Structure 1
Amino acid sequence: MPANLDAPPAIQLNGATEPTTMNPQPSVQNFGEPARPAVPTRNDTTFSKFSTMSVPPEGSILTGKQEHYLKRELISQQTKYEIAELSSPTALRRFGAPFRSDAGEVAPEDSELPLLRYIFVNHVRNFPFLDKAKEKEFWQDKLQVFLESFASKDISSSEDRLEETKRRKLALKAEKLVELMMVSGIPTASGYEERIRFAEMEIVDRQADEKGLTMNTPSGHSINGWDVNVSGVRTTSVKRHLRYHTHAEYLIRVKHDGDKDIYIGRRYADFVQLHKRIRLELPGKVLAPLPRKNAKDGLLQSSVDDDDVSSISSGSTQGPPPPPEPESSGGGGLRSYIFGSGHKKNASQTSLGRRSPRASVDYSAYKAPRKLYREEQRVSLRAFLRSFLHNERIAQSSAMAEFLTRNPIEVNEEEMEDIQRREEMDKKRIEEQRQFYEVARKRAAELDIHMEKFRREIVEANGLSHLFQEIRVKNTIADLKPEYQKFAEWLRIEVAATIYHLFLAEDNSPELFAQAKRIHSLVPYGVLKNVIRIANPAAVMSGVLDLFLAQPFGARSLLQRIFGMAINDGVNSVQKTIDTLGSTRIKDDVLCDKIKAYVQADEGVKEAIRQEAACDNVDMVVTILRSEFFQPELSSQQVEKVFNAYVAWNNAVENVRSRRLSRTASSRSNVSTATNATGQVEKEMRSGAELFAHLKQYLKLCLRQRDKLMMLQIIEEPTTLQLFRDLFTIFYEPLVRVYKSANVYNSITDFAMFADDTIKTIEACQRQEVSADPNQTVQAFIDLCARHEGNFYKFVHEVHKHDNGLFDQLMGWLEGILDFLRHGPGSGGRLDMNALFQGGMDSNLIDKDKAIREINSLIKWQMARKKWHSDKTRQKMASGGDDPDPLMGGIVGFKSSDFGLNAIDLQDLELDDDGSDSTDSEDMDDTDIADPIEAERKSRARAAEKLRRKAGEPKKPPIVELYKLSDGFNSMLRNVLAS
């Protein structure tokens, strides 16, 4: 096969040369496992980076892939250990400088937490604000004391709560980020390190926001089994007292799970009732607000030639020239009273006033536009209804089912014509959206060549510092380098498209625009400007801090009293629930005392109980109650009672029929039972299940009460207040000094002008036929951004000019992280994985065959995992369940590799995040207490759903042999990171 003479140059990443060609190599099975037949000796060390099977380079034991995934597995294991150790009260004492240690100074080579120590010393301690903090006064006497105090309180863990706490979720996220940073940043010594490479990923060209367009389509968009569209509006008359009142009734087309279409009629009040019913049926669920009433009508412009693009707006359209519009007051209200129009300047005419000439139209054939009654309200209610249906629980609720199926109607000919006209309007609106995105995309594409040059400059060493130095020196955008000016032009298009998308393109845009106008009209910009201009924010905040943190004669401060009062209210509320549960539901002081004894026990005892429960595969409550660690001991009758209750509870949760016993006991005992004996058994089972459920609740409530009391102790400690004051001083005062010296108050007026101009532009687009010409619409919003980009640049320039080097320090700090990701530690240290592996073999620490097999099993597992994730992602995108990509295809074409992050490593982080469940709640609401069995069933359903989402995901193979290399690897890791 002839060599490819036009092959692209090799890529330099972390000091390793990565060839970009496909060099054919002999096929070798099992990644070079020694048990296989020997492979002919190679004359060079170039091997296929894209093949899944390759041979080690000459002089090496491991292939590039084997090196990488061995390194990754050992770094992952060390990261898990270090993150878990942070919860230990003695962790910081083993950390090293700047923290205090009982054994004196801990050398970097001796730190038990080398990864976290490196990140702290190089990327936390030298953060521009924290670099001024004193070692003893801040790091040791305040932060270390506070963190050790918090760790010593033994706040309940996920295992105690029987659910995933927020701290646990944060720890998992931190673990993955540290692992990603270290795997990407620390190179191997051979220079041949490589990762699994998928077959070329499908690249989607930048295009219109297809998901957004699909969301607004009149039909064919099924959401959780429901295909709904608010299709039309009719008027109904209702007689009240002496006369008839006219109301708008919205005609909704409904199709459920492949059934035939039906139409229903609902008034606005029915939507209000739906909102209330769902709130009652799903208590605690955060619901989107109902759109406000909107009486605006729409106009559909008809044309003789159907191929002409008609205009859609909420006011008048361009047929005959529209009447002159009165000058907008810019919002009025309180703002107009405070400063009138003093903050406004005569903005240049918008592009709306310089309309490009339209094609010649025969106005003799002009048809008057059709009025569409309550069109904006129809569109906003459709967006509201579809957003509700996107939540599976709401879509399956009885309130939603009744709302969408009760009292179907037959539409008459006139109503069907109205539905068709509105469907035509929807289609034209979507087509205009598509055209807008296409025009904006083409304009952005014209900038691509300049953006590539800009990207290269930023990616280079100190690229961010050069950019901000340019902003510091040049007074206007016109003075910037050409590539920076092109970036500003690209940014202008991005902002214009975002404003259009938010306030014009979507079904809920009228509601969002109305809210923005109301907020803008209420903000007293003049007063705000003068307050910032005259007052000294640093002095004001210092006085406020003195007021809240002062401790007269050693008494508690005001802030402590406020927090203490809030926490005490929570403690008292929990105590009342505990007392009620113990006296009216459990009715056994011995059982309650055993649970309280566990909650107050030392952490070592709790850990032993948790391990015993896991080993015996029983519930924590059972293990606690039968344990001899806590007094008093249970009698044989009580032990039998607890075990029977545990069995009944499991049966009630897992069995649908038993689950319903708690609500329909008396009726079922009369109807469903054949004999009195059967009825008695069911009654005992129900009683036992409820008892065990209440015991579990009792444990959770006691743990929660103890956590609140521990937090109260932390707040009462004087170190907490001192740390709060120091953190405020460190972060707040430098920023205030910058804002004061840069005259930031002038930007308040500039923002008010931008908001006024934006409102005028959007209103003009709504009432004129701007949307008939997509170029015109694009230009209107781009011109809006162009009129105000100078003021924004002036703000950034002034802040950067008077920052006293603060932003230079920030950029230097950020570039320090990027430099580590691109090139590794500053000392140039590398991990010699071949030497590590050879050393393990020479000392008989590992078996070579077993170790190679384990590495290869990790590689195969990662490949299978990526394939599974890729298939799952495609299915999700095909069903419309994936979030759309940014309109313009990301941040000017930057790639993760530009910043030293390998795309495959980022994908691995995404794979690990897939399993996280953000819907779990730590809090127990009233419904959980009223029906604990149902609450447990829902909890198990969430867990089952979590498992379902991960169904088919390949399981990680067991690793034993490789972990024997951990000590040697960690020693090598400390030496690499020590400098």
Structure 2
Amino acid sequence: MSETQLQAPLLTTSQEHYVKKYLLTVLINNELALLQKDPYETLPNLGGPFDLKDEHADSTTPFLRYLFESIVVPFPFLTNSRGALWPKLQLFMDEYAKIEAGNGVEREEMLRRKRLQNKGEKTLVLMYSMAIKTVEQRAQEKRDLTARKEQLLATEQKLHQHQQEEEEQHERHSSSLDQLHLDQQQERQDTPRSRSVSPAVFTSTIHGVRMNVVGVRTVKEKRHVREHEHAEFIIASAFADGQEYVVARRHGRFRRLYHHLRQKFPNLMIPVPPSKYPVKSGSSGVKTAREKDRISLRGYLHNIAKVSQEVVDSAAFISFLSKDAFALSEEEAKDVQIRVSLDEHRMEQQAKFDREVAKKVDELDSQLKEVKLDLLQPGGVSRLFSAFKHIDNVDDLPPLYQSVFEWGCMSFASTLYHVLTSSDDATLNLTQLKRTHFLIPYRTMWGILKISNPMAMMKGIMDLFLAQPFGSRSLMQRILSGNMQEEVSEYKKEIAEVEAAIGDPALCEKIRNYVFAPRAVISKIFPDDEPYDIAELSLVMDVLRSEEILPVLQPLQIKRVWDAQQVLEQERLEKEQLKACNSQNTSNSDASDSSDWSSESNSSRSSLNLDSSADEKCKYLDVPHTQQYHSHHQHHDQQQQELQLQDSESNLIRQLQQLLVVNLRIREKERLMELIFQGITGEILKEIISIFYEPLVKVYKSANVADSLMDVKYFVDELIKVVEQAENDNGQGGTSGKPTAATLYLNLARKHLPSFYKFVHAVHKQDDGIFHDLLEWIESIITFMRTGFGHPRVNYKTGEELRVGIDLDDFVKKTIDPVQWEQIQKEAEALRVYFAEVKDRKREEVRQMAGLDRASNSAGEGDDKENERVVNELRGLGMQQEDVDELEMINWEASKVKTGDSNDNQEDEDGEFGLKVPQVPTIDTLKGPFVNLMNDVLFRTARE
């Protein structure tokens, strides 16, 4: 091989990054798997207090050990634990590993654990990927920093030049918008109202369905003595096939829908419908009865649709949105139009608020960038908090630091406005805030916190929360067990209903005995130690067939279960035939009429005719959807008896599964309470309290928490008044001298900013090193992600900060035989293509979840601009573009834990989105040498 070939780069910069990422991912995941499998034996390999005699210097978990010794152990409060915490923690981990394995796990819990585990793994990989950079990436960092400083100077110059022009243009534009809005209102009043539902009533699409509670109508019902009036909520919905429905439902129907979905999907967490609000829930000045109920029920429907695609495609949900459809009367159309106008006004107010906040944030943009650059410098965080310690008043802070508080006020005000005013759940959130606020005994707690003796202060607070007057439950017990007991009561009611529907005590007892069976018995039924999904119907059959769980089924019971299983299997086959016929019908129809059809949704609607033959189903699918709908209702009476018979048989397995799920939920709560309040867990909690208590009581004493607690009370009092004022103004803010909602919330945040800063200043002023140590610890994390070292290191010859940089290209050349260089290039390119494809698919899924598509140019442009801004900010923190992309994906996957949306059924150990991780045997041989390389450039520094 020629000298030129030896000196030429073997891998591109992008290939180097993904080879590094692959090696870090494999090695760190292996260490986490080892820790999860046997925590008691693996913890000593983490070093520090787990390995006092340094018997595990050659650790089997070097990456975790470095983070543990560099970040976890130096945490200031833990340094004062005198070593008593760590042995107990080791025992706790062993006990937790034993309790973790239950008699099955719900699907949502399995997905949640998997997502959290994936997030933890990817976060660790990202931290190391940021800390350990190649030589080329370090050079790019310097170029990015120089370019960012130049861009900052140019931005400041442009800002000063155009600020006045923008203000004048904004004033002219606002005046024009106000006049245009008045003209549109007049035109709307003069135009006759249509009885059809305008597309404007629909919000974003959720799992292929658009829906909105568009109005409320009053229905009179004649009873024995007199007529009674009740409200019905008008729901407009549009499905993916283009069909639109308008139906009316009473408030109680929403609760019945909840119970139906709970029975149909016992493995899913269906949200509970909101309670009714007082009758006077309209907007001031306009006759809009039950307006708060309408908005809260709209949010409830959206929350149900977000649970999963199968809930949206269920017959109960589709029937709720489409059955008994009707045409709007003139009075109903007028009510809908009024409420649509109210919705449009709320959206306009939200947009106006966002514009005002965005404008003020743009004005602070240059100052915030300077603050970020300063914080990234060595000692930057310490300088910031040193100012908090020595400056008494927020107005006396340096202008750069004042901009941070101003930005915080705007962000806080924007969050409050969204949560308490503009969102569909705003009324519910305000109600919960009021309830909690009125229950907290501020004055009593203020008197306790005024006690000068810290021990007496803590004792008084604990007595308040733990006191049991006349033997009743303590406040702490009520707080901890309130929600749980309510859920358990609901579960017990559900168990009683399901057992009554099953009508066989022996079957119910067998399911219950399985849930509470010891682990040794469960292991005989399911030898695999991995958690399994209890939502699978096959699990119920395995439990019923098992002779390890008593009682053993009798022949008649076995026949009943067998018949129910056959009905379920027949239903499954017929649904597959329906789906196949629907796919064939869709492919043969005109593209313009059928491209938007959803096969799953049509299958759900058509599944009501399960007794038809396969050919009849295909013919049924050829009929337009509207005719299908009416045809179903014409034959509904004749089929009802037969369908009920089939349902009674097929529901037996589902009812047993529901019984299994609910019993398991109760059992898991019992396990959780045992883990929290018994054994080693209690000792660890006591140890943690003792570790944190001593430094925190000093903070409480110096910061005058009693007065700060009353400041919180006064803030919440005024916040409630501001929310009610913003609601009562009904959009008149900004006219006749009334302040806008943005002004109300911003003024509230600014008014209470001095009180907040007074607390911050008092905390930092009197501390004897607590916060200094905390700041140094935070800076050590930032330093690690910026440089790779736990503490700043400086080249004394040049004065530059030392950073971990590896010549990965040279490392590969020295480790791999030249004969294999071509092979490793192919493998590196395969990794690059794989990770790029995963990234692209995740981005596309993010766009779909946000309700965006490639045709939505205006939304896409705004989204792209926001992404570009975030990327630039992260690049300014020293992150490479690949790290920015990875962080974006981690944050997106974290959001799926809340929403329940996921593609976990497409992910497995082999890869993501059905993509196979490429086989890279040559790169796999680098794992051992790569650990040795990390030991030379990084791990060794932790032991120096």
TM range (shorter): 0.5 to 0.7
**How far did residue 840 of structure 1 move?**
3.0
Any stretches of 5+ residues in structure 1 without a counterpart?
Answer: 1-33, 43-56, 196-206, 208-215, 299-313, 315-370, 550-558, 661-667, 673-684, 922-938
Residue aligning to 2:55:
106
**1:381 CA drift (Å):** 0.6
Instruction: Find 1:286's aligned residue among 233, 251, 271.
Output: 271
Contact 1:538/1:733, CA 8 A, preserved across alignment: no
Does 2:286 match 1:372?
A: yes
Structure 2 match to 1:655: 573
Is 1:71 equivalent to 2:20 in the alignment?
A: yes
Q: For residue 295 of structure 1, report the CA deviation from its aligned partner.
A: 1.4
In 2, Cα distance between equivalents of 1:190 and 1:507: 50
Q: 2:326 aligns with which of 408, 412, 433?
A: 408
Paired letter, 1:834: D
How far apart, in 2, do the equivalents of 1:920 and 1:423 lie?
A: 27
Q: How does 1:150-169 map to 2 (within 5 A)?
A: 150-151=96-97, 155=101, 164=110, 168-169=114-115
Which letter does structure 1 place at the counterpart of 2:768? N
Distance between the aligned counterparts of 2:210 and 2:506, measured in 1?
46
CA distance in 1, matches of 2:868, 2:686: 40
Measure, in 2, the Cα distance between the counterparts of 1:818 and 1:116.
17
Residue identity matched to 1:964:
T
Determine which structure has the larger helix proportion and give its number: 2
Q: How does 1:743-758 map to 2 (within 5 A)?
A: 743-758=704-719
Distance 2:202 2:235 in 1: 11
**What residue in structure 2 maps to residue 798 of structure 1?**
762
Match of 1:723 in 2: 684
CA contact (8 A) 1:223 1:386 kept: no
Shift of 1:691: 12
- Given that 2:815 and 2:926 are in contact with CA atoms closer than 8 Å, whether structure 1 keeps it comes out as yes
Matches of 2:544 and 2:717, distance apart in 1: 67
The question of whether the paired residues in 1 share the 8 Å contact of 2:508 and 2:659 is answered with no
The CA deviation at 1:83 is 0.5
Structure 1 residue 457, shift from structure 2 partner: 1.9
Q: Give the Å deviation of 1:183.
A: 1.3
Q: After superposition, give the CA deviation of every residue in 1:760-803 in whole Å (9 maximum; x if it has no partner).
A: 44444444532448994133433333222211211211122223
Note the alpha carbon deviations across 1:182-204, whole angstroms, 9 max, x for none: 11112235667889xxxxxxxxx
**Equivalent AA in structure 1 for residue 286 of structure 2:** L
Query: What is the CA-CA distance between 1:473 and the residue it aligns to?
Result: 0.8
Q: Distance in 2 between matches of 1:699 and 1:297?
A: 44
Counterpart for residue 770 of structure 1: 733
**Is the Cα–Cα contact under 8 Å of residues 76 and 773 in structure 2 kept in the other structure?**
yes
**1:29-78 deviation line (CA, Å, top 9, x unaligned):** xxxxx9xxx9x969xxxxxxxxxxxxxx9465333223222221111111
CA contact (8 A) 2:115 2:893 kept: no
- Amino acid of the residue matched to residue 254 of structure 1? A
| Mapped pair 1:116 → 2:64 | yes
Assess if the C-alpha contact under 8 Å between 1:382 and 1:507 holds in 2.
yes
In structure 2, how many angstroms separate the alpha carbons of the residues matched to 1:686 and 1:271?
26
- Which residue of structure 1 aligns with residue 126 of structure 2? 180
Instruction: Provide closer, same or farther for how the CA distance between residues 387 and 773 of structure 1 changes in structure 2, counting only shifts above 3 A.
Output: farther
Counterparts of 1:335-350 in structure 2, within 5 Å, are none
1:810 aligns with 2:757: no
Question: 1:659 and 1:94 mapped to 2: Cα distance?
Answer: 56
For structure 2, the 5+ residue unaligned runs are 142-169, 171-197, 263-268, 306-310, 467-475, 579-608, 614-645, 794-802
Structure 2 equivalent of residue 384 of structure 1: 297
Q: Which string of whole-angstrom CA distances, capped at 9 and with x for unpartnered residues, describes residues 538-559 of structure 1?
A: 456569999999xxxxxxxxx9
Q: Contact conserved, 2:875 with 2:884, CA < 8 A, in 1?
A: no
Q: State how far apart, in whole Å, the 2-side matches of 1:407 and 1:94 are.
A: 66
Structure 1 pair 193–66 and aligned structure 2 pair: CA distance change class (3 A): farther
Per the alignment, residue 48 of structure 2 pairs with: 97
What SS does the aligned partner of 1:391 have?
helix
Please say if residues 703 and 762 of structure 2, whose CA atoms lie closer than 8 Å, have aligned partners that are also in contact: yes
Q: How many residues align?
A: 768
Distance 2:850 2:843 in 1: 11
**Counterpart check, 1:138 vs 2:52:** no
Query: 2:885 is matched with which residue?
Result: 907
> Structure 2 length normalisation: TM-score?
0.65
Q: Structure 1 974/602 Cα, relative in aligned 2: closer, same or farther at 3 Å?
A: farther
Say if 1:839 and 1:695 are closer, same or farther in 2 by CA, change over 3 A: farther
Assess if the C-alpha contact under 8 Å between 2:277 and 2:292 holds in 1. Answer: no
**Amino-acid identity (%):** 25
Task: Look up the match of 2:449.
Answer: 532
CA contact 1:279–1:285 (8 Å) conserved in 2: yes
1:851 matched to 2:824:
yes
User: SS at the partner of 1:461?
Assistant: coil
In structure 2, relative to structure 1, the CA distance for the partners of 1:235 and 1:382 (3 Å cut) is same
> Residue deviations 1:958-979, cap 9 Å, x none?
2222112211112222332132
Residues in 2 aligned to 1:912 and 1:749: alpha-carbon distance in whole angstroms: 39
Report the AA paired with residue 703 of structure 2. Answer: A
Superposed CA deviations along residues 914-955 of structure 1, whole A, max 9, x for unmatched, are 77975999xxxxxxxxxxxxxxxxx9x9975889xx996643
Q: Distance in 2 between matches of 1:697 and 1:286?
A: 17
Distance in 1 between residues matched to 2:676 and 2:926, nearest whole Å = 44
What CA distance in whole angstroms lies between the structure 2 residues aligned with 1:739 and 1:397? 57
Cα 1:546–1:411 change in 2 (3 A) is closer
Quick check: 736-745 or 452-461, which moved more? Answer: 452-461
- Does the Cα contact within 8 Å between 2:202 and 2:212 map onto a contact in 1? no
1:732 to 693, 703, 708: 693
Query: Which residue of 232, 238, 243 corresponds with 1:256?
Result: 238
Could you say which residue in structure 2 is the equivalent of 1:80?
Answer: 29
Indicate whether 1:978 and 2:940 are aligned. yes
Residue 419 of structure 2: aligned partner: 502
Q: Is the 8 A contact 1:218 1:231 kept in 2?
A: no
Contact 1:146 1:720 in 2 (8 A): yes
How far apart are 1:841 and its partner, in Å? Answer: 2.4
The one-letter code of the counterpart of 2:733 is: V
Matches within 5 A, 1:658-737: 719-737=680-698
Counterpart in the other structure of 1:664: none
SS in 1 for 2:234: strand
- Contact 1:158-1:164 within 8 A present in 2 as well: no
CA contact (8 A) 1:610 1:620 kept: no
SS in 2 for 1:252: strand
Which is greater in Rg? 1
Q: Which amino acid aligns with 2:376?
A: V
Change (3 A) 1:445 1:816: same
Q: Kindly tell me: are residues 839 and 875 of structure 1, through their superposed partners in 2, closer, same or farther at Cα, counting changes over 3 Å?
A: same
Q: How far apart in 1 are the matches of 2:660 and 2:220?
A: 58
Contact 1:65 1:193 in 2 (8 A): no
Q: How does 1:614-633 map to 2 (within 5 A)?
A: none
2:190 paired with 1:276: no
Q: Secondary structure at the match of 1:408?
A: coil
Cα RMSD for the two superposed structures: 6.2
Aligned residue number for residue 144 of structure 2? none
| Contact 1:232/1:422 (<8 A) preserved | yes
Deviations 1:510-556 (A, max 9, x none): 5544554454455443333222223856456569999999xxxxxxx
What amino acid maps onto 2:287 in structure 1? Y
Residue 316 (structure 2) aligned to one of 398, 401, 408 = 398
Q: Are positions 1:840 and 2:815 aligned together?
A: yes
Instruction: Give the aligned partner of residue 322 of structure 1.
Output: none
